[in-house]
Structure 1
Amino acid sequence: MNQHWLMKAEPNSRIVKGKEVKFSVEDFEAVGTTPWEGVRNPEARNIMKSMRLGDKVLFYHSSCKTPGIAGFAEVTREAYPDYTAWDPEHPYYDPKSEERNPKWFMVDVKFVSRAAHFVPYPLLRKIAASDATTPPAGLEYIGEKEVSAIREMDLVHRGRLSVQRVQPEAWEVIEGMAEKGGWTEETKGGGRAKNKEETSINGKRKNEEGTGTDTDTRRRSKRRTCMKS
């Protein structure tokens, strides 16, 4: 049985060590399949080591004005050493990680599709805090079971972790929301998501789930890594 996950990336331009590290849903679609390198948080690393071929992924825009779920992906290669940690020129080089004893790991992930309706994080928070018997306007197709599934998501409780587990029930709710949409700017509390063209986000880089920087969010070097068979 496939497992389900959520993986974050920054859609806005940001330069680290002279390299562009943004990776938006548009970038993901263009590259097709990518190694998910640069994760430097032990818990997020361990979660990636639990991933298996065919597992489903929610692709999440993080550290931006309106964070949220922008697309869907699939794991195509299980965890292997993150060799970018050994590269002194890589933005997230770690001198404590050695090739003979790697500290960090990554998986390969394949782009599947954009979310027809960008699912904003503020809306998920609003649903989680709502009365399960009265869903927000435009989301009447969400019932008590769906509200409960969102309420239990790690994203709501531990939002800053860049790689997270997603329960099957929550996956189904998010998948349905991305397909059906229905919310308005007023419903979600700022910004609307009526079609896939509205997944482009601008604004100051900021951690969306609290103050400070999401130091664990996956950043991608502009240099495209060649895929290995």
Structure 2
Amino acid sequence: MTSTDRKYWLMKAEPDSRVVKGKDVKFSVDDFEAARATPWEGVRNFEARNLMKEMSIGDKILFYHSNCKSPGIAGFAEVSKEAYPDYTAWDSSHPYFDPKTKQDDPKWFMIDATFLSRAEHFVPLSLLRHIAESAKSDPPDEIAYIGTDGMKAVKAMPLVTRGRLSVQRVSQECWGIIQMMSEKGGWEEMTFGKKKPSTSTRPRQPATKNSRAKTNSTNNDGGGSEVEGKVDASEEPDIKPKKGKKRKASDVDTGTQKVTVPHRRSVRTKKED
């Protein structure tokens, strides 16, 4: 494969423990380095699956820590086996079992990825967002080495323009910039990712059930919870839950005639799967 044929990707995994159906689905850069190579199983989102089906052996991967306190790029990897059926979807004991997929007509696919190296300097999402939100075309002095082209490349990343998808395209230019940043660092003394103090004089309103539910369903990657395997919990799965039975309306006797009163719908915000 020539450099012009090679494609570049970002793939997310959760570095912190999260137990699903009795199994811990964490997969950190430490786990990846120890395993050296791994199947990328458990993806249950059609767009992410389709992107994996486009991958070729030798494509490069930014390995990203997600759904954690400090999300960001932790290492580098490459595709070592092209897309093939994800057999974990047929395993009823697996955290991401899908009863609607069949072995003779597979719906979900995975690739194999091989670990290449750790990022010498962890590249945090907060830094990438700081760059993306900057109105300036020139980079901060601490990372002047990325230049204006580096600023443009980071600002165009789906990670900062869209965020939630667990498999994303990365431009060749952006791959080079991220690799350079991981080697050189320099942002340790920068202040970013901190919320500015509020200047509002209005009294703070007490939290409601709706606001608490909305807050609890988000994470540091800017998305809600998801159902994913060796990826993060910020992407919505394309596995629809079974629908419950519809409740019938109640008849209320007012003394003169019966009035049909529909059941009141809950006003609570339903947490995303």
TM-score, normalised via structure 1 length: 0.85
| 1:162–1:218 Cα contact (<8 Å) kept | no
Correspondence for 1:207: 219
Correspondence for 2:26: 22
CA distance in 2: counterparts of 1:188 and 1:214, whole angstroms: 27
Q: Is 1:33 aligned with 2:37?
A: yes
The Cα shift of 1:216 comes to 4.6
SS at match of 1:178: helix
| 1:8–1:59 Cα contact (<8 Å) kept | yes
The structure with the largest alpha-carbon Rg is 2
The Cα shift of 1:128 comes to 1.1
| 1:160–1:216 Cα contact (<8 Å) kept | no
Name which structure has the greater RCO, CA cutoff 8 Å, separation 6+. 1
* Superimposed CA distance per residue, residues 9-30 of structure 1 (whole angstroms, 9 cap, x where no aligned partner): 0000111100010000000000
| 1:8–1:217 Cα contact (<8 Å) kept | no
TM-score, normalised via structure 2 length: 0.72
Question: Matched residues, percent identical?
Answer: 60
| Aligned mate of 1:94, from 85, 91, 98 | 98
Correspondence for 1:49: 53
CA distance in 1: counterparts of 2:179 and 2:17, whole angstroms: 27
| 1:85–1:97 Cα contact (<8 Å) kept | yes
Letter in 2 for 1:167: S
Correspondence for 1:139: 143
Correspondence for 2:83: 79
Q: 5+ unaligned residues in a row in structure 2: which ranges?
A: 195-215, 233-273
| 2:131–2:151 Cα contact (<8 Å) kept | yes
Q: 5+ unaligned residues in a row in structure 1: which ranges?
A: 191-203, 221-229
The Cα shift of 1:165 comes to 0.4
* Structure-to-structure mapping, 1:209-228, within 5 angstroms: 209-216=221-228, 218-219=230-231
CA distance in 1: counterparts of 2:51 and 2:119, whole angstroms: 24
